[in-house]
């Protein structure tokens, strides 16, 4: 049995992702209120894996999660892209006219703003989790209150789906990372099958320093799929660069890392894994 720490409740998109990624395996889900708590569970018990959202096709990158990953020292061993679809649900027997409040995670509320704008009488309330909102309504038998969550979460907590697929954009996907203690990484991945890597580094504050790194990656035919910069606290106008690359030759990729290392500062390989 695999033990997986997630942010959110059973039925959340993190939970759905865990079961998709480890399809057919027996899982014990450890529900956490925050992403910080996810990493605490992993630090306290090296056998615990973590699953964490890192970017969304609409909302963009979860910048704080990049920093949590780097500071934790954990390794990325996989990724999964989950389609995000929301429904409006409430206690059975109610209609849309009975609803006065809608609870959900702020990102979910933002992703359904066009639908919600058609119902100006609804008060939007931000909660920690999509599935957590559904659970709270069910446990407290709250009439007149609805949740935005996945339809599976609504059914899990015995709620009735008033309307499904209420998200503004159907092309809504979140990329999740599967993480583990570095000492356990080789048990969870086949390195010779890896074709993607996540790295982070800083650069000297010199003209052309970033273009040099990118040119070397291009020379080794390494495909840059994402670059995200974050300011380094306490070091004005200096940045950390979080970079995702894909490759079809592990040896050539390793050679490219060796080539850019002298040009960078504090380069860390966050993980080498099979792309989703």
Compute the C-alpha angle 31/3/8, nearest 5°. 15
Q: What is the DSSP letter of 204?
A: -
Closest CA to 105 of 77, 85, 83, 124: 124
> Shortest CA distance to 30 belongs to which of 1, 50, 53?
50
pLDDT value of position 202: 93
pLDDT of residue 242: 96
68: enclosing H helix or E strand: helix 63-72
Cα separations in angstroms, 109 against 59, 87, 147, 268: 12, 11, 10, 35
Q: Is 186's pLDDT higher than 80?
A: no
- Non-local CB neighbours of 14 within 8 Å, separated by 6+ positions: 6, 7, 8, 51, 52, 53, 176
pLDDT band at 112 (very low <50, low <70, confident <90, very high): very high
Query: What is the tens place of the pLDDT at every residue in 15-43?
Result: 999 999 999 999 999 999 999 999 999 99
Give 92-160 as a DSSP string.
TT--GGG--EEEE-HHHHHHTHHHHHT-TTPEEEE-S-HHHHHHHHHHHT-TTEEEEE-HHHHHHTT-E
226-272 pLDDT, tens digit per residue, is: 999 998 888 878 889 999 999 999 999 999 999 999 999 889 999 99
CB neighbours of 143 closer than 8 A, spacing ≥ 6? 90, 91, 94, 98
Tens digits of per-residue pLDDT, 148-161?
Answer: 999 999 999 999 99
Task: State mean pLDDT over 160-177.
Answer: 94
Cα distance between residue 101 and residue 123, in whole Å: 5
Whether the pLDDT of residue 99 is over 80: the answer is yes
Please, which pLDDT band fits residue 191 given cuts at 50, 70 and 90?
low
Query: Do 106 and 126 meet the contact criterion of CB atoms below 8 Å apart?
Result: yes
pLDDT in tens, 42-51: 999 999 999 9
Q: How far apart are CA 142 and CA 56, in angstroms?
A: 31
Pairwise CA distance, residues 55 & 81, whole Å: 10
In which element (H, E) is residue 77 found? Answer: strand 75-83
What is d(CA 261, CA 264) in angstroms, rounded to the nearest whole number?
Answer: 5
Residue 100 confidence (pLDDT) above 70: yes
């Amino acid at each position: 049995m695999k033990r997986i720490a997630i942010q959110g409740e059973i039925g959340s998109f993190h939970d759905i992702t865990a079961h998709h990624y480890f399809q057919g395996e027996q899982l014990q889900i450890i529900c956490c209120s925050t992403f910080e708590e996810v990493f605490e569970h992993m630090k306290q018990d090296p056998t615990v894996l973590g699953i964490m959202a890192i970017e969304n096709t609409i909302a963009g990158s979860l910048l704080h999660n990049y920093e949590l990953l780097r500071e934790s020292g954990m390794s990325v061993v996989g990724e999964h892209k989950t389609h995000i679809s929301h429904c409006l649900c409430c206690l059975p027997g109610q209609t849309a006219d009975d609803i006065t409040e809608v609870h959900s995670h702020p990102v979910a509320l933002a992703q359904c703003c066009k639908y919600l704008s058609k119902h100006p009488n609804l008060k939007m309330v931000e909660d920690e989790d999509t599935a957590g909102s559904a659970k709270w309504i069910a446990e407290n038998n709250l009439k007149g209150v609805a949740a935005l969550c996945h339809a599976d979460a609504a059914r899990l907590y015995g709620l009735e789906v008033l309307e499904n697929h209420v998200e503004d954009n159907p092309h809504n996907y979140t990329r999740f990372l599967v993480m583990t203690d570095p000492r356990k990484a080789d048990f969870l991945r086949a390195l010779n099958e890896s074709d993607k890597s996540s790295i982070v580094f800083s650069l000297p504050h010199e003209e052309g320093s970033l273009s040099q790194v990118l040119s070397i990656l291009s020379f080794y035919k390494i495909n840059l799929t994402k670059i995200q910069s974050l300011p380094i606290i306490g070091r004005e106008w200096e940045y950390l660069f979080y970079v995702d690359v894909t490759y079809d030759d592990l040896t050539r990729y390793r050679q490219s890392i060796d080539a850019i290392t002298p040009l960078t500062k504090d380069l860390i390989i966050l993980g080498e894994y099979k792309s989703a």
